[in-house]
Amino acid sequence: MTNIQSRIAAIREEIVNTCRLTNRDPDSVNLLAVSKTMGVDAVQSAIQAGQEHFGENYLQDAIPKVSRFPGAIWHFVGAIQSNKTRDIANRFSWVHGVATEKVARRLSEQREPTLGQLNCLIQVNLSGEDQKSGVNPDEAVRLAGRIAPLDRISLRGLMTLPAPSNDPSEQAATFRALRELKDDIESRYELPEFNQLSMGMTNDYIEAIKEGATWIRIGTAIFGPRNLTPTPDEPTTKG
C-alpha cells in the first residue's frame, strides 16, 4: 500500500467515526481528492485505493489527467474564467464554484447535450475576503433563483472556502451558516436536488462533517505537500 492509499484509508475511517458520533450515514459524505498540481502517478495510486472523485483547480493542469483517467469523476473546484467555460462544461461532471449568472449561463449553453446535466454548486464567500471568489449569502439566494431554470446544468447546492481557523467552534459556525443557507434556498425555490454541501478541507473536515458536509475536499492529507505554482493562465487566490 502506498502512502496515498494509506492516507485515503485513514480519512475514510475518520469519516465513518465522525458520522457515528453525529448519527449520520457515512455514505452521505463523499471524499473529493483534490489532485491539483499532482501528476498522473499520484492519481493512479488514489484510483487503486478505490478513489473515484477528483478535484482540480487549474484547467491546463487538469486536462492531461482528465484525459488519462476518463473513468474517474472530475470536479472543477477553482475560480472560473469566462474563456475556460467550454472546456470545463464538457470535461467535468461537477463544478464547485459558480459565482456569477454569466458563468452559469455559459456552462449551460456550452455543455454538450449528450453528456447530461452538469452538476453545479454556488460558491458562497461567508468570510467576506476580497481575494476569494464567491457571493455573499443574500446574493446566493438571488443567484440560485436565476440559474436554477437553466437547461443543461443541475443546481445541486453550495460550496464555501472559509477563512483559516484552528478553532473548532469557529469552523463549526461557518459550516453551520452554509447549511442553514442551503436549507433556506432549498425551501424558497422548491429544489429537491439542492442538497449538497461542499465544505471542509484537510484542517477542518471533521467539523464540516459534523455540520452536514456532503463533500469534503481533501488535498494535502491525501497527496502530501505540493507545488503550488499554477499554470500562467490561472489565478492563485480565488477559488
pLDDT mean over 105-115? 98
Q: Is 90 exposed, middle or buried (0-12, 13-18, 19+ CB in 10 A)?
A: middle
How confident is the model at residue 235, as a pLDDT? 40
In tens, the pLDDT along 47-70 reads 999 999 999 999 999 999 999 999
pLDDT mean over 25-43? 97
Q: In this model, does residue 163 exceed pLDDT 90? A: no
Q: In this model, does residue 238 exceed pLDDT 90? A: no
How confident is the model at residue 229, as a pLDDT? 57
CA 129 to chain centre: 19
Between the CA of residue 202 and those of 28, 43, 85, 181, 217, what are the distances in Å? 18, 18, 28, 23, 7
* Predicted confidence band of residue 225 (pLDDT cuts 50, 70, 90): confident
Q: In this model, does residue 43 exceed pLDDT 80? A: yes
What residues contact 227, with CB distance under 8 A and at least 6 apart? Answer: 37
User: What does the domain layout of the chain look like in residue ranges?
Assistant: 3-223
Backbone region of residue 13 per phi and psi (left: phi > 0; alpha: psi in -120 to 50; beta: other values): alpha
How confident is the model at residue 234, as a pLDDT? 42
* Predicted confidence band of residue 227 (pLDDT cuts 50, 70, 90): low
3-223 belongs to which homologous superfamily?
Alanine racemase (3.20.20.10)
Q: In this model, does residue 230 exceed pLDDT 70? A: no
Report the share of the chain in percent with pLDDT over 90: 86
Q: Which amino acid is at 129?
A: E
Residue whose C-alpha is closest to residue 197's, from 210, 216, 184: 216
In tens, the pLDDT along 179-198 reads 999 999 999 998 989 999 99
pLDDT mean over 145-155? 97
Residue whose C-alpha is closest to residue 171's, from 140, 127, 137, 222: 127
pLDDT mean over 128-156? 93
